C-alpha cells in the first residue's frame, strides 16, 4: 500500500507534513530520515520489538517523527492527551508498561508532577530532569535500523464513561513496515483519499481518528496539513490557503463553523474540498443539512471506534435519503441485539454489535473485553441504535448515558441535537440528575453563544423550543448555564464528570 520510506525514494521533496499556522514543512525525505534517527534512538534505549513507548504532545511536526520511528522499530506506541492531569498520565504510563515518555514544555508544571519511572525526553525546549530529544537524535544515523519491523498503536479510550482503557492489537504478522494496511485501503476506496490528497487535520493528533487517518494519508503519499489548534475561521482560511482536498471533522467543528457570521463564512473559498469526512458522534440533522448546503455533497460520515472491529459509511447522497443514519457496514456484519445478545426485529432499538474477524482486547482488563463481547462472539462499543430495512444504521446514544425517569428510558442525544440547533446555543450536554420521585430528571447544561444571555428569559425560550419537537418526557426539567462544558478536544463530552457532579450534590 505504501509507506513514507517508499515515498521518500519516489518524491523526496514533496511535503509530507505542513503545520497550518506556522507553515513549518517536513518533506518525505526529511520524515524518512528523522523517523530513522528516532528508531535508532529507541534501539539505543534498549527498546525491542513489542516494547511500549508513549508520546504526550500538542500538535507539532515532530509527532510524526516519533510515530513513524516507533512504527518502523516494531514498537507499541501510546499517544496520550496532553490535557490530562499528572495522575491520569501516570495511570496510562503505568498501565501500558511504557518504558519512555516524549513530551514538550506545553505540559508546563505537569512535567514535574509525573511519578512514573520512565525515561523522559523533552521536545521543543529544555526542562530540568528531562533529556533533550533534539540532542539525543542529533548524532543518530539517518539510515534504517537493521531489524525493522512494523509496530502499531495502543490508544486509550477518552474516559468519558470511566477510567480510560488501552485498546490493544496484536503486532502485524507481516514484519514488512510497508505491508498492507486496511485503513489506507478504506481511505482510498470510501473517502477518495489518494497520493494527490492535501489533507487537513484540525483535531489533536493523540486521538485515534486524526492519528490513524494522517498515517493513512502518509501511506498513500499525500500531504498532511495539521492545525496546531482548531479555530473555526482559521480552518476555513487553511482550506483556502492550502487548497485542501480532504479533511476529517467532528460535529462540534461543523457547529462552530456554522455559528460564524455569514459574511465570514462566505469570505473563504472551500471549492477545493473533495472529501470532508466526519465521525466521533452523531451529527444533528439540521447541522449536517447546513454543511451539505454550504460545502456541497462532499460530506462523508463513518461510525467506528478505537477498537477497530468494524466501520460504517454513508455519502452525502445516501444521507439525504436516509437522514440521521451513519451508514451501512463496509467490513463487518451489523447486529442490533437485545439484553440476551440476540437480534431484534428490523426497526427496533437495541445494542449495536459488529460481527467481524477483527481482534482486539482492552489492555489489563479481561472483564471489560469480555463485557464487550456477546455469546456469538460479536463485539460492541456500547452504543444503542436501530437498522432500517435497507441495512442503514441509526444511532440513538450510548447505553451508559441513558436516563431512566419514572421507568421511561430517555436518550440524551436527541435532546442535545435539537437544542444545539438553537441560534443562541454554542454547546449543550443533557444528563440525568437525581430526582426524589422520578429517580432521575432530564437536565440540560447549556453553554450560550453569549454568556450575558444566561438567565430565565433564555431558559424559558429553550424550554419552549424543546416543546416544538420533543415529547413531554424529553423536555428538560432543569436548564443550567455554563461558560464552558467539559468537552474532549476530539468533540466528545465528559458526561461522566457532569453527571458525577450533580449526583455528588445529592449525597453531600
Asked if residues 17 and 61 have their Cβ atoms less than 8 Å apart, the reply is yes
Same domain, 415 and 395: no
Residue 34 included in any domain: yes
SS3 433: strand
In this structure, the dihedral spanned by the alpha carbons of residues 99, 100, 106 and 112, taken in order and rounded to 10 degrees, is: 70
Same domain, 128 and 41: yes
Could you say which of 368, 384, 401 is where a domain stops? 401
Number of domains in the chain: 3
Residue 251 included in any domain: no
Residue 195 included in any domain: no
Same domain, 382 and 424: no
Same domain, 364 and 387: yes
Residue 437 has pLDDT above 80, yes or no: no
pLDDT for 472-481, tens place per residue? 888 999 999 9
Residue 425 included in any domain: yes
Could you say which of 141, 156, 171 is where a domain stops? 156
pLDDT for 271-294, tens place per residue? 999 999 998 676 888 889 999 999
Could you say which of 354, 373, 401 is where a domain stops? 401
Task: Give the CA count within 13 Å in the CB-facing half-sphere of 454.
Answer: 17
Lowest mean pLDDT, pick from 30-44, 362-376, 415-429: 362-376
What CATH number does the domain containing 484 carry?
3.30.300.30
What CATH number does the domain containing 137 carry?
3.40.50.980
pLDDT for 438-480, tens place per residue? 778 999 999 999 999 999 999 999 999 999 888 788 899 999 9
Range(s) of the domain holding residue 443 = 402-507
Mean pLDDT of the chain: 91
Residue 411 has pLDDT above 80, yes or no: no
What CATH number does the domain containing 385 carry?
2.30.38.10
pLDDT-based confidence at 410, cuts 50/70/90? confident
pLDDT for 147-199, tens place per residue? 999 999 999 876 544 567 888 888 887 888 998 887 888 888 888 899 999 99
pLDDT of 158: 60
pLDDT of 405: 79
Same domain, 336 and 409: no
How many angstroms separate the CA atoms of 259 and 246, rounded?
22
Same domain, 359 and 437: no
How many angstroms separate the CA atoms of 229 and 236, rounded?
13
Residue 489 included in any domain: yes
pLDDT of 433: 86
How many angstroms separate the CA atoms of 62 and 71, rounded?
14
Sign, CA dihedral 226-190-304-282, equals positive
Residue 98 included in any domain: yes
pLDDT of 161: 47
pLDDT of 289: 96
Same domain, 84 and 148: yes
DSSP letter string, 48-112 = -TT-EEEEE--S-THHHHHHHHHHHBT-EEEE--TTS-HHHHHHHHHHHT-SEEEE-GGGTTHHH
The sheet that has 15-19: what strands, in order across it?
A: 25-27, 15-19, 223-226, 198-201, 246-249, 275-278, 299-303, 312-314, 328-329
Residue 125 included in any domain: yes
Amino acid at each position: 500500500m505504501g509507506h513514507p520510506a517508499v515515498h521518500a525514494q519516489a518524491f523526496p521533496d514533496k511535503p509530507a507534513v505542513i503545520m497550518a499556522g506556522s507553515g513549518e514543512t517536513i518533506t518525505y525525505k526529511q520524515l524518512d530520515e528523522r523517523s530513522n534517527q528516532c528508531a535508532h534512538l529507541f534501539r539505543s534505549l534498549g527498546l525491542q520489538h513489542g516494547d511500549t513507548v508513549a508520546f504526550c504532545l500538542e500538535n507539532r511536526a515532530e509527532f510524526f517523527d516519533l510515530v513513524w520511528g516507533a512504527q518502523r522499530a516494531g514498537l507499541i506506541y501510546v499517544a496520550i492527551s496532553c490535557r490530562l492531569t499528572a495522575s491520569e498520565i501516570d495511570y496510562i504510563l503505568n498501565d501500558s508498561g511504557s518504558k519512555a515518555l516524549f513530551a514538550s514544555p506545553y505540559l508546563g508544571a505537569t512535567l514535574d508532577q509525573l511519578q512514573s519511572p520512565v525515561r523522559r525526553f523533552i521536545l521543543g525546549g529544555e526542562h530540568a530532569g528531562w533529556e533533550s530529544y533534539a540532542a539525543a537524535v542529533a548524532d543518530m544515523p539517518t539510515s534504517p535500523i537493521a531489524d525493522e519491523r512494523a509496530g502499531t498503536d495502543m490508544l486509550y479510550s477518552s474516559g468519558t464513561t470511566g477510567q480510560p482503557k488501552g485498546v490493544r492489537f496484536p503486532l502485524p504478522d507481516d514484519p514488512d513496515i510497508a505491508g498492507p494496511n486496511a485503513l489506507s485501503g478504506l481511505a482510498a476506496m470510501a473517502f477518495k483519499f489518494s497520493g494527490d490528497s492535501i489533507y487537513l487535520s484540525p483535531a489533536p493528533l493523540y486521538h485515534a481518528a486524526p492519528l490513524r487517518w494522517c498515517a493513512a494519508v502518509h501511506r498513500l503519499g499525500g500531504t498532511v496539513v495539521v492545525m496546531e489548534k482548531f479555530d473555526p475561521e482559521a480552518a476555513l482560511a487553511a482550506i483556502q490557503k492550502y487548497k485542501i482536498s480532504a479533511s476529517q471533522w467532528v460535529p462540534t467543528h461543523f457547529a462552530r463553523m456554522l455559528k460564524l457570521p455569514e459574511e465570514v463564512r462566505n469570505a473563504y473559498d472551500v471549492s477545493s474540498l473533495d472529501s470532508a469526512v466526519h465521525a466521533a458522534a452523531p451529527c444533528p440533522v439540521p447541522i449536517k443539512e447546513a454543511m451539505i448546503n454550504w460545502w456541497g455533497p462532499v460530506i462523508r460520515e463513518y461510525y467506528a471506534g478505537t477498537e477497530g472491529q468494524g466501520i460504517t459509511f454513508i455519502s452525502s447522497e445516501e444521507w439525504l435519503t436516509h437522514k440521521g443514519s451513519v451508514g451501512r457496514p463496509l467490513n463487518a456484519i451489523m447486529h442490533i441485539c437485545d439484553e440476551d445478545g440476540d437480534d431484534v426485529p428490523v426497526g427496533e432499538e437495541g445494542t449495536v454489535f459488529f460481527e467481524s474477524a477483527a481482534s482486539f482486547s482492552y489492555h489489563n482488563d479481561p472483564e471489560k473485553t469480555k463485557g464487550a463481547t456477546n455469546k456469538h462472539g460479536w463485539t460492541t462499543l456500547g452504543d444503542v441504535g436501530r437498522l432500517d430495512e435497507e441495512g442503514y444504521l441509526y444511532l440513538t446514544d450510548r447505553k451508559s448515558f441513558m436516563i431512566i425517569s419514572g421507568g421511561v428510558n430517555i436518550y440524551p442525544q436527541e435532546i442535545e441535537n435539537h437544542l444545539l440547533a438553537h441560534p443562541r446555543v454554542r454547546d449543550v450536554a443533557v444528563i440525568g440528575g437525581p430526582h426524589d420521585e422520578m429517580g432521575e430528571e432530564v437536565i440540560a447544561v447549556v453553554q450560550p453563544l453569549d454568556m450575558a444571555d444566561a438567565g430565565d428569559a433564555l431558559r424559558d425560550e429553550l424550554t419552549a423550543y424543546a416543546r416544538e419537537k420533543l415529547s413531554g418526557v424529553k423536555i428538560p426539567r432543569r436548564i443550567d448555564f455554563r461558560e464552558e462544558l467539559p468537552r474532549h478536544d476530539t468533540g466528545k463530552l465528559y458526561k461522566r464528570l457532569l453527571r458525577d457532579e450533580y449526583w455528588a450534590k445529592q449525597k453531600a
